[in-house]
Structure 1
Amino acid sequence: MITEQTQLDAFVEHARAHKVLAIDTEFMREKTYWPKLCLIQLATPERAVAVDPLRLHDLSALNVLFQDENILKLFHASRQDLEIINIEMGCLPAPIFDTQIAAALLGHTTQIGYGPLVMNELGVHLKKADSYTDWSRRPLTKSQLQYALDDVIYLPKLYDSMSRKLKKLNRMDWLASDFRDLSDPSNYEKPPEERFLHLKRVNQLNQQQLACARNVAAWRERKAMKRNIPRKWVLTDEQLVEICKREPQSIDELFMVRGVDRILKLDDAREVLRECQAAYREDPETWPELPRPAKSERNVDAQVDLMTALVRLRARENNVAFQVLVSHDELVHIARGHYERCDVLKGWRKRMVGDELLKLVNGELALRIEDGNLKVTRRSRSSSRKPKGPDA
């Protein structure tokens, strides 16, 4: 357990001599907007430590490790860890290897947990007795500390095992772009003005009400940040959407929504009303729209069913989880000719099945059943349409 600056400096010097560094965090955020960092676990192949940010307030020495391009940073399910490191330390570790993401290319289920992956790859059973711990309490017990350190102790061994298998399959470089994206700060920047898109039941609102929801949700986000409390403690999603539905013109109308008079102080209620009224005064041309397919677009169920069959075939042949290759929404987009945001048409996914999906929807490929198995055949030029796609 590292609680002093000299200990941290010594570990940093130790870690700089190694090519990999395993990283994990423990944090609490049930009662706050910003996650409260309670522990940082770090491990090289030789040594594992837990850094106590509740005792050691200057963590800047770790920036040297996190931003060293010669040290590969190992995580499992890294997004939340990276988010809190970015908040607390103002940097994003790079380069990265995420064992959960890589596991999907070795036949494991998508979003496999750390414990099952360690068991499957290394044959080690991890105890889960301290999985629901209040990490802000001190002192930590020996059992809690061991549980926390187990989350990094096996990452270097996992990396060795998985990288060998990926290299044997010539897949080691496939995930380079995925890992680079994890270190992109724009993935962790969420403008308050876009928060309304994630409201529960937001699709029940018309365009003017959406403008109101955009304003009020942004106001709520800033209040929650400033007070460092969960956004639902300012207003719940349900209350916010109901307020916008009612299009209130007065405090009394605002307070007609169940529970709002108890959760909002009068000054806050006035601010919410001003946000609503500002939306009503906006030019309708500026009102937001939810991203949804136009009603006039054709039904593509048949095309999606055929593409699904092709993806399942290639996923099974390559021992890759279907969901890692493509989502249902992406198949719908491809069937309708919208290619811009389809990951399956990029990188290794494109090589494995994306190119074939384009050929299938453009009539260049045919699917048939032979001896109970699905077969893919190329159609003759005379019976196929001119190829289309993002590179055509």
Structure 2
Amino acid sequence: MDRSRSRPASHPDMIVSQEPFDRLCDEIEDTGLAAFDTEFVSESYYQPKLCLVQLATPLGAYLVDPLTVPDLSRWWDLMIDDHTTIIVHGGREEIRFCQRYAGEMPRRLIDVQVAEGLLSRGYPLAYKNIVNKVMGVAVGSHETRSDWERRPLAPKQLEYAVEDVKFLPEIWNRQSQTLDKLERLDWAFAEFERLIENIRLEKDREGWRKLPGVLRFSAREQAVARALHEWRDRVAEEQDRPPRVMFRDDMLVDLVKRMPKSVQDMNLTRGMQRRDYQSYAEEIIRVIQDAATSAPSEWPQSFMNRANPPLDDVLAKLLSLALANRCAEMNLSMSLVGTMADIDELVRWHVFDKQQGELPKLMSGWRADVCGDLLTDLLDGHVSLRVSNPRSDAPLRFDRRS
């Protein structure tokens, strides 16, 4: 089969038409494996705009121009089938692109950044650091701020784009062998599934809950914040603009606090005199007043965290030390195993919720094997800790009390 139009070179040409792209998809389907990366711009659009697709198979690395290839659906179908393994690095955006264009999540996804977090204490490691660590090869990162939408792309951009994907198959090959020897391969696949599930759940999370200071709002103010956030998102999508560029978070929050009843009141807020804001002034007031005067039964359910018991913070810090020491012993990345929020969740569940309800993250799956018993034994007073070797990466020792 003639692949002359898609064969990689030191200065690779992009695949810019349908026929060579379809041939590349044939190759991927035959091999059952592809590394995948993307370049995109997000500063000017409601959703990131896909500007370049990088793919690598055992036969080589390829660049695809999504701005000129009419139909990429064959690739998205491969991402969601049960036979093609997709390898990425820090692939959250690649998963989102798959979700957007295929309408589903990838079925067989490998993320080498996650895998490396199960083999070392560095997570998340940049791509160039993983390539250097695993392959012993130095790659550059000088094109990370490139304008990927502009055409033609420069040779340096093309070289960078190929480097971003061509090492991924061999990196995973080496990582998987090490994970298997350490009996952590199942851990890796569980984390890949967790990554996908977390992205799947993003759409179910209400974005207004992330607004600064919203935890301190009254239920009525939260209703207004939700309404303004939904209005902003709808208008931004209509205009294909980033929501925060169209209307900044801090200004939205200020309107919630002031809750103006007229355009004149609204204009007392600094910055609201901008012409583009004024064009929406009446609409903004209507959104605010409709939400503010709605029935309390329609307001958001409160999501204030209950006050921390006095020892909560101290206990969480104690468990954090224990978890850090255990991760050092096992050469695991603590930031992948558990965050302070995960530790706090465990303390609340074990001490204050009397171990009722859903198991905390640190008590589930492979994490329970790594640290679950240690952390709960500490909380129950079954073990004590002391400094054993202050020069060690894992200086603490935990002794079971008789």
Q: How many residue pairs are counted as aligned between the two chains?
A: 379
Q: Distance in 1 between matches of 2:281 and 2:337?
A: 47
How far the C-alpha of 1:341 sits from its partner, in A, is 7.2
Q: Distance in 2 between matches of 1:240 and 1:371?
A: 53
For structure 1, the residue ranges without an aligned partner over 5 or more in a row are 381-392
Q: Which residue of 2 aligns with 1:334?
A: 346
How far the C-alpha of 1:25 sits from its partner, in A, is 0.5
Q: Distance in 2 between matches of 1:286 and 1:240?
A: 20
CA offset digits 1:147-169 (Å, max 9, x no partner): 10111100011111111111111
CA offset digits 1:231-266 (Å, max 9, x no partner): 123311111011111111111111211111315455
Structure 1 residue matching 2:20: 3-state secondary structure: helix
TM-score normalised by structure 2 residue count = 0.87
Q: Which residue of 2 aligns with 1:176?
A: 189
Cα 1:97–1:145 change in 2 (3 A) is same
CA offset digits 1:124-152 (Å, max 9, x no partner): 11123322211111122222111101111
Q: Which residue of 2 aligns with 1:76?
A: 89
* Higher alpha-carbon deviation: 296-305 or 65-74: 296-305
Cα 1:368–1:53 change in 2 (3 A) is same
How far the C-alpha of 1:320 sits from its partner, in A, is 0.7
Cα 1:177–1:139 change in 2 (3 A) is same
TM-score normalised by structure 1 residue count = 0.90
Query: Contact 2:15/2:64 (CA < 8 Å) preserved in 1?
Result: yes
- RMSD (CA atoms): 2.2
Q: Distance in 2 between matches of 1:278 and 1:341?
A: 40
Q: Which residue of 2 aligns with 1:51?
A: 64
Cα 1:370–1:63 change in 2 (3 A) is closer
How far the C-alpha of 1:276 sits from its partner, in A, is 1.2
* Higher alpha-carbon deviation: 362-371 or 94-103: 362-371
Cα 1:85–1:170 change in 2 (3 A) is same
Cα 1:102–1:186 change in 2 (3 A) is closer
1:138-157 matches, within 5 Å, as 138-157=151-170
1:351-366 matches, within 5 Å, as 351-366=369-384
Which of 104, 114, 121 is the aligned partner of 1:101? 114
Q: State the one-letter code of the partner of 1:357.
A: L
Q: State the one-letter code of the partner of 1:205.
A: F
Query: Contact 1:59/1:89 (CA < 8 Å) preserved in 2?
Result: no
- Is 1:121 matched up with 2:139? no
- Is 1:378 matched up with 2:400? yes
Structure 1 residue matching 2:158: 3-state secondary structure: helix
Q: Which residue of 2 aligns with 1:390?
A: none
Q: State the one-letter code of the partner of 1:344.
A: L
Q: Which residue of 2 aligns with 1:276?
A: 288
Structure 2 residue matching 1:119: 3-state secondary structure: helix
How far the C-alpha of 1:296 sits from its partner, in A, is 6.1
- Is 1:42 matched up with 2:60? no
Structure 2 residue matching 1:56: 3-state secondary structure: coil
Q: Distance in 1 between matches of 2:333 and 2:389?
A: 25
Q: Which residue of 2 aligns with 1:246?
A: 258
Cα 1:16–1:334 change in 2 (3 A) is same
Q: Distance in 1 between matches of 2:49 and 2:87?
A: 22
Cα 1:30–1:18 change in 2 (3 A) is same
Q: Distance in 1 between matches of 2:18 and 2:125?
A: 36
Query: Contact 1:63/1:91 (CA < 8 Å) preserved in 2?
Result: no
Which of 350, 353, 359 is the aligned partner of 2:368? 350
Structure 1 residue matching 2:62: 3-state secondary structure: strand
CA offset digits 1:332-373 (Å, max 9, x no partner): 222222574732121111110023212321333332445765
Q: State the one-letter code of the partner of 2:374.
A: E
Q: Which residue of 2 aligns with 1:8?
A: 21
* Higher alpha-carbon deviation: 84-93 or 275-284: 84-93
* Higher alpha-carbon deviation: 246-255 or 57-66: 57-66
Cα 1:126–1:251 change in 2 (3 A) is same
Cα 1:24–1:258 change in 2 (3 A) is same
Cα 1:355–1:158 change in 2 (3 A) is same
Structure 2 residue matching 1:112: 3-state secondary structure: coil
CA offset digits 1:260-295 (Å, max 9, x no partner): 131545552222212211222223354336644322
Structure 2 residue matching 1:74: 3-state secondary structure: strand
Cα 1:295–1:63 change in 2 (3 A) is closer
* Higher alpha-carbon deviation: 178-187 or 212-221: 178-187
1:179-328 matches, within 5 Å, as 179-184=192-197, 187=200, 189-190=202-203, 194-266=206-278, 268-288=280-300, 291-295=303-307, 297-328=309-340
Q: Distance in 1 between matches of 2:230 and 2:260?
A: 18
How far the C-alpha of 1:12 sits from its partner, in A, is 1.1
Q: Distance in 2 between matches of 1:263 and 1:208?
A: 29
Q: Distance in 1 between matches of 2:202 and 2:70?
A: 24
Query: Contact 1:32/1:230 (CA < 8 Å) preserved in 2?
Result: yes
Query: Contact 1:83/1:188 (CA < 8 Å) preserved in 2?
Result: no
Q: Distance in 1 between matches of 2:384 and 2:156?
A: 58
